[in-house]
Structure 1
Amino acid sequence: MTFEELVKSRHSAVNFIESEKMTDDDFKKIFELTKLAPSAYNLQFADYLVITDVDKKERIKELAHNQYKIHTASAVVIVMGNKNSFEDFEAEKIYSPMKMLKMMDELEYEMTMNQIKGYREGLKANGSALDMELARNVGLHAMLFMLSAKHYGFDTCPMHVHNVDELRKEFSIPDHLVPILMITIGKSVDKMRPRGYRKPVGEFVNFNGYK
């Protein structure tokens, strides 16, 4: 499948083959591609909670206004932003091995750490900026997850996260992880319905300013 075919074949699935089970290896292959998504300073903000247990999926279904696709999906994937990704200890985990392998020298390492510190402090000074940065980076990651899933033959549907406080309690989600969206995944039970209307490119793309 070419990339063009992959993108055109990815639709949001509204129902799944309930008997379809996904293995750890299925998810590993998907996440091995997903981890290549870009992120600010390569800080890799996305964390995933994969729910395959039938009873736990049903609990998520209850929290998400009983949407049936959750019941039939092979799994529900909660995609979260990790607020700790901005902190020095996470940045050091990513950049220290690069310094050790001489992919960057000491000066470049220190400059990068200082840049990340400034970036972090600027975001913390504006709470909405922090939320937006998490959403932006997690959104990039989640889209690559859905394309990677389709590459391996699985269908997906991105969804809102509902009742976040109850979800946190149910799955012991720590405070530094912010649920941003969830994705149902499996194999669609039917042929995909025709894609909804898309605006012509000329309606949403402008070059060199607006008239």
Structure 2
Amino acid sequence: MNFEDLVRLRHSAVNFIEDEQMTEDDFKNIFELTKLAPSAYNLQFTNYLVITDKEKKERVFELSYRQYKIHTASAVVIVMGNKNSLEVSEAERIYNPMKMLKMMDEVEFNMTMDMIKKYSDGLKKDPHEVDLELYRNAGLHAMLFMLSAKHFGFDTCPMHVHNIEELRKEFNIPNHLQPIMMITIGKSVDKERPRGYRKPVGEFVSFNGY
């Protein structure tokens, strides 16, 4: 499937084939592509909680106002922003292998760490800015997850995440992980569902100013 077909065939699924099983290998294949998503300073802010257990998925169903697509989906994926990604120690963990492999020298490594520290310290002055950065980066990651899923034959639907504190307690989600959205995944019942209206390009794109 070429990229144009992939994008055109990806729809938000409203109902899934119930009891369709997905394996850990299915998810590993999807995430091997998803991990190539861009992120600020390559800090890779996005974590995922994949819920395939039927009873646990039903708990998410109850916490999400009983939306039927959660009940029928093969899994529910919680997309989370990782606040610890802003720590310099995390940046060092990501960049140290590049230094060891001579992809960057000591001077470049130190300059990069200094830039990341300034960037991180600037964000931390305002918690709202931290949240915005998590949402920006997780949004990019989540979109690639949905395209990757479609590439491997699975359908998805992005969803609002509800009752976050109850969700934290239910699944022991630590405080440094911020749930941002949910994605239901499986095999859609409606393979030929028409796509909703899309605005013409000229209605939402301008060049060189307004």
TM class by shorter chain equals: over 0.9
The aligned residue for residue 136 of structure 2 is 136
Residue 189 of structure 1 and its aligned partner are, at CA, apart by: 1.3
Secondary structure in 2 matching 1:81: strand
| Equivalent position amino acid for 2:184 in 1 | T
Match of 2:170 in 1: 170
Cα distance in structure 2, aligned partners of 1:156 and 1:31: 14
Corresponding position: 1:45 with 2:13? no
Q: What corresponds to 1:120 in structure 2?
A: 120
1:109 corresponds in structure 2 to 109
After superposition, the C-alpha distances for 1:78-101 in whole angstroms (9 at most, x for unaligned) are: 000000001011101100111011
8 Å CA contact 1:11–1:192 kept in 2: the answer is: no
2:68 matches 1:81: no
1:193 aligns with 2:198: no
Q: Report the TM-score when normalising by structure 2.
A: 0.99
Instruction: Give the deviation of 1:20 after TM superposition.
Output: 0.8
The one-letter code matched in structure 1 to 2:15 is N
Where 1:156 maps in the other structure, the secondary structure is: strand
* Distance in 1 (alpha carbons) for counterparts of 2:110 and 2:191: 53
SS at 1:146 equivalent: helix
Aligned 8 A contact 1:64 1:163 in 2: yes
RMSD value, Cα? 0.6
Q: Which secondary structure state, in structure 1, belongs to the residue aligned with residue 158 of structure 2?
A: strand
Identity %: 77
Report if the CA contact (8 A) 1:78-1:182 is conserved: yes
| Aligned residue pairs, count | 210
Partner SS, residue 196 of structure 2: coil
User: Per-residue displacement from partner, 1:17-66 (whole Å, max 9, x unpaired)?
Assistant: 11210011100000000000000000000000000000000000000000
Cα distance in 2 for residues equivalent to 1:102 and 1:2: 35
Residues 63 and 167, structure 1, Cα contact 8 Å, conserved in 2: yes
Alignment partners' CA distance in 2, 1:72 and 1:36 = 29
The alpha-carbon deviation at position 128 of structure 1 amounts to: 1.2
Q: Which whole-Å CA distance do the structure 1 matches of 2:48 and 2:164 have between them?
A: 15
TM-superposed CA distance for 1:192, in Å, is 3.9
Residue 190 (structure 1) shift: 2.1
Alignment partner of 2:181: what SS? strand
Q: Is the Cα–Cα contact under 8 Å of residues 13 and 192 in structure 1 kept in the other structure? A: no
**Residue number in structure 1 paired with 2:36:** 36
Name the counterpart of 2:92. Answer: 92
SS of alignment partner, residue 107 of structure 1: helix
The secondary structure found in structure 1 opposite 2:18 is coil
Matched to 1:128, the amino acid is: H
Q: 1:200 Cα deviation (Å)?
A: 0.3
AA partner of residue 117 (structure 1): K
Q: Distance in 1 between matches of 2:172 and 2:206?
A: 45
Amino acid at match of 1:103: M
Counterpart of 1:179 in structure 2 is 179
